[in-house]
Structure 1
Amino acid sequence: MTTSSDVPAPKPPLRIAMVAGEASGDQLGAGLIHALREQLSGTRELVVEGIGGPEMQAAGCRSLYPMEALSVMGLVEVLRHLPGLLRLRRRLGRQFLAEQPDVFVGIDAPDFNLGLAYRLRRSGIRTVHYVSPSVWAWRGYRVRNIARSVDRMLTLFPFEAEFYRRHSVPVSFVGHPLAERIPMLPDPVAARQLLGLPERGPLVAVLPGSRLGEVQRLAQPFIETMQWCLERDRSLRFIVPCASPKTRELFESILARSGANLPLTLLDGQARPAMTAADAVLLASGTAALEAMLLKRPMVVAYRLAPVTYRLLQRLVRVPYYSLPNLLAGEPLVPEYIQDQATPVNLGQALMNELHNPSRRSQLMQRFRIMHGELQHNADQAAAAAVLEVAGG
């Protein structure tokens, strides 16, 4: 006979505080919440609250404040919003300390989240930070503060995990979610059909950046690069996916002022199908370079910064490469040009070599496939397993 005392008491809900500061973090947070719920598999209720965007909220996160409050870019903008950001962090800290979640997960936004994590951890709340700041590249002294602030760092790239192990910071390499979502064998023909482009003929995707400052600095040299290439190969066609209406408006105005007459298609968004459809990609350094690598596209990477910022970073940055494919490979796998090196001639020559060198293309595709596989760690599930381990749940 079974008595009520023989029935195990239900576990209390697993309470997770989670803060994401922009769209990419919102996507990571949503994937993490879904994976947490799957791993708990109905054995324990999951309660998530903090700050998240529409995807985290749809996954079940109760957002206490709008995510846009943290989405501040640029030094001047951050300084202007700093008093409000500090007030928000203090308010969140008081609330989390009062509610005592099982674990706090800060997703990216390191300047905001690591300070909050430090305060919570000092009071006994376990903490996880998801997405490493570029501490391995510059301001390396921050690793000491990270060690005091987190019980576990979750990294997207293996070289980041190696850095933290060298500094005795508990770390889990979870892989990159994009490596799960992008197929190992992309379909360029299907992408061209989707975009209404001819199935044949050399096509170059041109991505001058997702932010207005990037487009302002790179649009003109990219337009001149297209013109340089077209003068040498009249069969070329170009496609430019614009990240937002504002970046499209800016690019169109710079294109009009340039007077260039290019066989060019402008798109609203759709960067991934545009790169998939292309034979080569000219792009601003950033996540787009990682995406182009996962899509197995030959690429030329460029970047320009404000002159003062560039001079400052020259003194501070301690890595031999700045594009993600080269950082992952540990060698100059793809051509990259920064600041004054990002000229139409340099970019054009490199781009033509990527278009017209079949043996290099074949070798590059093989390396990209290997690197793609190395990033496939089922990131959402791996991150969830690490968070549950830290939470003791």
Structure 2
Amino acid sequence: MTLQRVYLVAGELSGDILGAGLMRELRARHPTVEFRGMGGPRMEAQGLESRFPLETLSVMGLVEVLKHLPELLRVRRTLREEALAWQPDIMIGIDAPDFNIGLEKQLREAGLKTAHYVSPSVWAWRQGRVKKIAKAVDLMLTLLPFEADFYHRHQVPVSFVGHPLADELPLENDRDGARQALGLAPDTPVLALLPGSRGNEIRFMGATFLDAVTLLCLRHPSLQVVIPAATAQRHAELSQLLAKYPALAQQITLLEGQAREAMVASDAVLLTSGTAALEAMLCHRGMLVAYKMAPATHWLAKRLVKTQWISLPNLIAQESVVPELIQHAATPEAIAEQIGQLFSDAEMRHALEARFAAMHANLQRSASERAAQAITALVAGEPLEATADGA
């Protein structure tokens, strides 16, 4: 069976990357396929007709979502109506579970096949959501093996496809080459600082990170700091913030994108949680995860989240490989202390790099290809076991 129409909805940069890889592999199998829905520049480059800008769904935190709820409901209603009018072979929601799973449920009830790419953290909190997911999707595509195990236990059709970033990033990388490409000195400590892809993350963490950098520069006068801005808007916000730190002007390089190059060039990475932590792991770099959120959001999260960790490297390893500083613990002093240890202890850095390289190898599975294979089988009505591997 040849796919003719695929409707996709992604809501942030990581989803745009995943969606673009999936679209590329689907087109390789179905050259005439059309794509509509919502996504970012990478998905648009693969042929997506996007109805709304990517950042429409990029609202961080439980409390913040409530403020934007009327607009989010309007967007979901518009997407539902357009999908039903277009009648695609399948609708695929990519991440953004609170938005997409509701949309998937509505479309599935209306007779469309649906899939969800990237499992929400049902294994960590609100496990009752798996019942809604079972009603919303014909297939769940997971990036990590422990997620697939969870869905198997709850009898939800699932395919563990691996993580596209693990396929994309090489098992060996060139730190010296990355430094040369970014114009960094070869023999001085380098910190990659990734404050997040959302505006609220800059607002909550930006000043804290730069205060920590100020302390680190006192201990390491030759420190070089590279800050990759995720978008043009984040670049503008970071430029305004950096203007308040003139003493750091000679030691900080603000980049437009190039997060991967910055991490490969670094000795250590300072970041908020999310996909960036996984990418740092796949670049085999020691890191510190520090995160703050609105007080009300943090209060709710403490009572709802059951998992011991928030960063993907720790969740994959099921142990504390990466230090995490959350909310009040994420002070400039504590951050500077943890990063300073990474700079000072070469043996620790090398051990972490070797551990992350091994974890990287275990996640390489040609994820986009496997996802496209599973979607094709689902639409064709073939048994999931013929293409999926949930082990």
1:241–1:120: structure 2 CA closer, same or farther, 3 Å change rule?
A: closer
Indicate the RMSD between aligned Cα atoms, in angstroms: 2.6
1:372 deviation in Å?
Answer: 0.8
SS at match of 1:312: helix
SS at match of 2:57: coil
Report the AA paired with residue 66 of structure 1.
F
Report the AA paired with residue 130 of structure 1.
Y
1:236–1:54: structure 2 CA closer, same or farther, 3 Å change rule?
A: closer
1:237 deviation in Å?
Answer: 2.7
1:191 deviation in Å?
Answer: 0.9
CA contact (8 A) 2:124 2:305 kept: yes
Distance 1:136 1:105 in 2: 21
Q: Does 1:331 align with 2:319?
A: yes
Distance 1:244 1:30 in 2: 17
1:348–1:92: structure 2 CA closer, same or farther, 3 Å change rule?
A: closer
1:384 deviation in Å?
Answer: 0.3
Q: Which residue of 1 aligns with 2:299?
A: 311
Q: Which residue of 2 aligns with 1:272?
A: 260
Q: Does 1:29 align with 2:16?
A: no
Q: Tell me, which stretches of 5 or more residues in structure 2 are unaligned?
A: 382-391
Tell me the TM-score normalised to structure 2 length: 0.87
Distance 1:385 1:137 in 2: 28
Written as runs of structure 1 = structure 2, the 5 A alignment for 1:1-393 is 14-40=4-30, 45-63=32-50, 65-68=51-54, 70-74=56-60, 78-79=65-66, 81-257=68-244, 260-261=247-248, 263-269=250-256, 270-392=258-380
Distance 2:47 2:292 in 1: 40
CA contact (8 A) 1:22 1:67 kept: no
Report the AA paired with residue 6 of structure 2.
I
Kindly, what percent of the aligned residue pairs are identical? 48
SS at match of 1:384: helix
SS at match of 1:337: strand
SS at match of 2:187: coil
Q: Across the two proteins, how many residue pairs are aligned to each other?
A: 379
SS at match of 1:201: coil
1:218 deviation in Å?
Answer: 2.1
Report the AA paired with residue 59 of structure 2.
M
1:368 deviation in Å?
Answer: 0.4
1:226-249 per-residue CA deviation (whole Å, 9 max, x = no partner) reads 233333333333222333454445
- Structure of larger gyration radius: 1
1:204–1:15: structure 2 CA closer, same or farther, 3 Å change rule?
A: closer
1:342–1:49: structure 2 CA closer, same or farther, 3 Å change rule?
A: closer
Tell me the TM-score normalised to structure 1 length: 0.87
1:117 deviation in Å?
Answer: 1.6
CA contact (8 A) 1:204 1:279 kept: yes
Report the AA paired with residue 177 of structure 1.
P
CA contact (8 A) 1:155 1:161 kept: yes
Select between 234-243 and 75-84 the one with higher mean Cα deviation: 75-84
1:220–1:147: structure 2 CA closer, same or farther, 3 Å change rule?
A: same
Distance 2:192 2:153 in 1: 39
